[in-house]
Chain A
Amino acid sequence: MSWIVLLGFLLGIVMGLTFKVPLPPIYGRYLGIAILAALDSVVGGIRSLYEKNFNERLFIAGFFTNSLLATFITFLGDRVGVDLALAAIVAFGVRMFQNLTLIRRYIFQSRRWE
């Protein structure tokens, strides 16, 4: 069942490669934040699989609200002149590494996935 996640990822990459629409340079920052949010969600989702408390709706809602809030904070920061995007970067980054630590622990301590 886990192959579907990998398949989705590869499909996404192919789509991104074929999607030939130039992005104005100012939106590069927003794209980066969105990537970070998506990466955080995926790592968090894998962790919840190990912990067996996954909730589909919560996961999807979390992904979208996180991305939107992060983008909004970045936008606000650009307007105010303070790099508020750092808040999102730090929050996502710290959580991602924490989740990764837990995932590592689950893998080496017991194989409970599937």
Chain B
Amino acid sequence: MKTQNKKGFYFSLAMVSLILGFLISFAITNQQSIYSRTPQLRKRELVKVVRNLEKERESLKGELKNLRKKLTRIEKIAAKEEGVLTSYSSNLEEAKLALGLMGLEGPGIIVTIGDNSNVPPGEDPNNYIIHDYDLRVLVNALWEGGAEAIALNNQRLIFTSAIRCAGSTILVNSTRLVSPYEIKAIGDFKNLKNALETNRDASLLCQKYAPNYGLLLKIEEKKFLRIPGYSGSLNVKYAKSLEEGS
């Protein structure tokens, strides 16, 4: 087999080399772009960022708590030393109580509500989880029943608190809550329970949706209940106080 067309052979060898070079560089550039596009990697990075920020916030919260404690101690010392200040400091106590900065204890109710993790196939899973509006309905009903203080998974509700939806979690005081949600409220148990039963949305949730969709729902009476004070920051930047009574 001696077909001695050397030039032609070189040419075909060059063509195959061209294809080889093309395939190699194409494969390499593609491999790189696939790697940089991997969403898994990005997701992991973002999760890390969120975790770090949450850790930072926790430590800042702890610092704030310590500072507040220190402030209270100083206030107490001041109140003891100067009689004139006593009335002011008792006013201050009252204001703190009203604001929700103080932890409270007393009789009340604990409402526990949670997702149903067994969603039957083909059903809308949205019906089987607790949403932010479900919690709002319950909280509003409890306020209606004369609750004096409410905490959601130990997040005290104050004047700036919101219950909002954030993906698969619920944000309260910028803290992520997950199911099951424990709503603690201080007040008269009978009135509170009555409010849950008479409020239209709350009764619909407790008596119809919860049994229908197999949601976790538990209402307990507590003779003694502890609700923590608000530990986040109070960002009042724009509001200025008016004269009292106006």
For residue A35, CB closer than 8 A to chain B, the reply is yes
Taking a contact as CB atoms under 8 Å apart, the answer to whether A5 and B10 are in contact is yes
Task: Say what secondary structure dominates the interface of chain A.
Answer: helix
Partner of A17, one of B9, B20, B25: B25
Most chain A CB atoms below 10 A, which of B10, B14, B25: B14
Question: When chains A and B are docked, how far (Å) is the Cα of A14 from the Cα of B29?
Answer: 11
Taking a contact as CB atoms under 8 Å apart, the answer to whether B25 and A13 are in contact is yes
Partner of B3, one of A19, A54, A60: A54
Report chain B residues within 8 Å CB of A11.
18, 21
CB-nearest residue of chain B to A20: B29
Report chain A residues within 8 Å CB of B12.
45, 56, 59-60
Chain B min CB distance to A65 (Å): 13
For residue B241, CB closer than 8 A to chain A, the reply is no
What class of interface size applies to chain B in its complex with A?
Answer: 20 to 34
Chain B min CB distance to A12 (Å): 3
Taking a contact as CB atoms under 8 Å apart, the answer to whether B23 and A56 are in contact is no
Shortest 3 CB-CB distances between A and B: which pairs? Answer: A12-B21, A16-B25, A8-B14
Pick 24 A–B contacts, CB within 8 A, sort by A. Answer: A8-B13, A8-B16, A8-B17, A12-B20, A12-B25, A13-B21, A14-B25, A15-B18, A15-B22, A16-B22, A16-B25, A16-B27, A17-B25, A17-B29, A19-B22, A28-B30, A31-B26, A31-B30, A32-B27, A35-B24, A54-B3, A54-B9, A55-B1, A56-B5
Residues of B whose CB lies within 8 Å of any CB of A are 1-31, 33-34
Residues of A whose CB lies within 8 Å of any CB of B are 1-2, 4-17, 19-20, 22-23, 25, 28, 31-32, 34-35, 38-39, 41-42, 45-46, 49, 52-57, 59-60, 63
